[in-house]
């Protein structure tokens, strides 16, 4: 690899800074001093695995909560990109652990992240280090998710403009050594508008750009009246949802702020694409039939697959 580096730089002209800029930046001075980096929750390590060889050509990373859904996405993108081999034989790279699953399909990595900020945060630390160790360049990350819509028909796909917290602020608060530090949650505008353009090229594909509120709970934290605990009235719930709507929020989920914040700090272009499973102005329970929900959950996958195919020149 050391011999290859100068040749690579020469082909790219002398713009060494541009080359460095496109690499994944980890913001941790201690990493370079480590003899070995164990990506514990992926069951991978810089000593036992050749990460540049395994992952060096990755350009698109798609993450979502459910392991089954991300396996299904890997099979789907395999067929969409018409890659050789049997999509049914796709292997979980993280088979040494059941915390997360990971599938590689050509330049696409499909990874599950579980539910909620802590679960996706742990995955992202190790994913960003993996991309760094593998010397990946020009990577785009997508979170493909499900969400509760606010004032949207079920099945509508929301491309996130800003990921916001419970007070509708575009920021993520992380406690570090007992102190709260705040990071911006701005996402890449270019990728979002490109996704919106892609959605207009698909048939019957209701899509909006709006803010996404990230909460730390599914029930009380999202103003639901149907949890084991409820300390507020239906009127108070609706007032909160109306305030959210007025501030530009169109859906609610549980991972977007930390995803946006970590990608931004590490110079990774990122987008969040979630389908609304219900309109929260009309209820709390997800009552659609199973087959309808399955089709809804495929919509973010279809949109991102279209984006990837266009980027790779499969669609003119």
Longest dimension (CA), the chain: 67
Segment 196-210, tens digit of pLDDT: 999 999 999 999 999
* Tokens found for residue 192: 């979002």
Instruction: Answer yes or no: is 145 a known binding residue.
Output: yes
Instruction: Answer yes or no: is 144 a known binding residue.
Output: yes
User: 27-138 and 145-315 share one CATH topology?
Assistant: yes
Decide if domain 145-315 falls under CATH 3.40.1190.20. Answer: no
Which of 115, 34, 104, 114 lies closest to 73, judged by CA? 104
pLDDT category at 9 given cuts 50, 70, 90 is very low
pLDDT category at 256 given cuts 50, 70, 90 is very high
Predicted local confidence at residue 15, as pLDDT: 57
Domain ranges of the chain: 27-138, 145-315
Average pLDDT, the chain: 93
Q: How buried is residue 2: exposed, middle or buried, by Cβ count under 10 Å (0-12/13-18/19+)?
A: exposed
Instruction: Answer yes or no: is 287 a known binding residue.
Output: no
2-11, 27-36, 124-133, 295-304: least confidently modelled range = 2-11
Instruction: Answer yes or no: is 264 a known binding residue.
Output: no
CA 299 – CA 112 distance, rounded (Å): 17
Segment 215-242, tens digit of pLDDT: 999 999 999 999 999 999 999 999 999 9
Q: What sign for the dihedral angle of Cα 113, 110, 266, 310?
A: negative
CA 305 – CA 4 distance, rounded (Å): 32
CA 126 – CA 35 distance, rounded (Å): 16
Instruction: Answer yes or no: is 299 a known binding residue.
Output: no
Segment 60-93, tens digit of pLDDT: 999 999 999 999 999 999 999 999 999 999 999 9
pLDDT category at 22 given cuts 50, 70, 90 is confident
20-29, 133-142, 176-185, 277-286: least confidently modelled range = 20-29
Does the pLDDT at position 2 exceed 50? Answer: no
Between 16 and 30, where is the model more confident?
30
Segment 275-305, tens digit of pLDDT: 999 999 999 999 999 999 999 999 999 999 9
Place of tokens 């002209």: 13
Instruction: Answer yes or no: is 222 a known binding residue.
Output: yes
CA 175 – CA 117 distance, rounded (Å): 13
Asked if residue 93 lies in contact with residue 130, where contact means CB atoms within 8 angstroms, the answer is: no
Q: Write the CA distances from 98 to 61, 82, 105, 111, 163, integer angstroms.
A: 19, 29, 20, 12, 28
b/e map of 59-88 (b: 16 or more CB within 10 Å)?
bbbbbbbbbebbbbbbbbbbebbeeeeeee
- Mean pLDDT value across residues 212-217: 98
Which of 214, 209, 213, 212 lies closest to 195, judged by CA? 209
pTM: 0.92
Q: Which CATH number fits domain 27-138: 1.10.10.10, 3.90.1200.10, 3.90.550.10, 3.40.50.1580?
A: 3.40.50.1580
Predicted local confidence at residue 16, as pLDDT: 55
CA 273 – CA 256 distance, rounded (Å): 10
Predicted local confidence at residue 17, as pLDDT: 58
């Amino acid at each position: 690899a050391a011999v290859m580096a100068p040749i690579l730089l020469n082909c790219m002209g002398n713009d060494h800074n541009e080359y460095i800029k496109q690499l994944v930046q980890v913001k941790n001075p201690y990493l370079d001093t480590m003899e070995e980096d164990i990506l514990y929750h992926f069951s991978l390590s810089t000593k036992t695995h050749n990460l540049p060889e395994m992952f060096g050509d990755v350009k698109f990373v798609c993450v979502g909560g459910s392991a089954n859904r991300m396996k299904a996405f890997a099979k789907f993108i395999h067929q969409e990109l018409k890659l050789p081999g049997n999509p049914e034989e796709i292997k979980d790279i993280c088979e040494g652990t059941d915390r997360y699953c990971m599938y590689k399909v050509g330049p696409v990595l499909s990874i599950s992240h579980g539910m909620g900020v802590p679960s996706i945060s742990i995955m992202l630390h190790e994913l960003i280090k993996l991309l760094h160790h593998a010397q990946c360049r020009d990577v785009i990350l997508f979170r493909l998710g499900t969400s509760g819509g606010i004032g949207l028909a079920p099945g509508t796909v929301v491309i996130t403009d800003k990921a916001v917290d419970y007070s509708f602020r575009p920021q993520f608060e992380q406690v570090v050594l007992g102190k709260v530090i705040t990071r911006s949650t701005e996402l890449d505008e270019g990728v979002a508008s490109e996704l919106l353009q892609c959605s207009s090229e698909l048939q019957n594909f209701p899509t909006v750009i709006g803010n996404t509120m990230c909460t730390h709970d599914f029930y009380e934290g999202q103003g639901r009246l149907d949890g084991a605990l409820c300390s507020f009235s239906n009127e108070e719930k609706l007032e909160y949802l109306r305030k959210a709507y007025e501030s530009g929020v169109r859906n609610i989920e549980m991972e977007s702020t930390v995803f946006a914040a970590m990608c931004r700090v590490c110079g990774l272009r990122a987008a969040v694409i979630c389908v609304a499973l219900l309109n929260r102005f009309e209820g709390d329970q997800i009552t659609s039939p199973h087959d309808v929900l399955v089709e809804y959950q495929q919509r973010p996958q279809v949109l991102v697959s279209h984006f990837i195919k266009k980027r790779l020149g499969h669609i003119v």
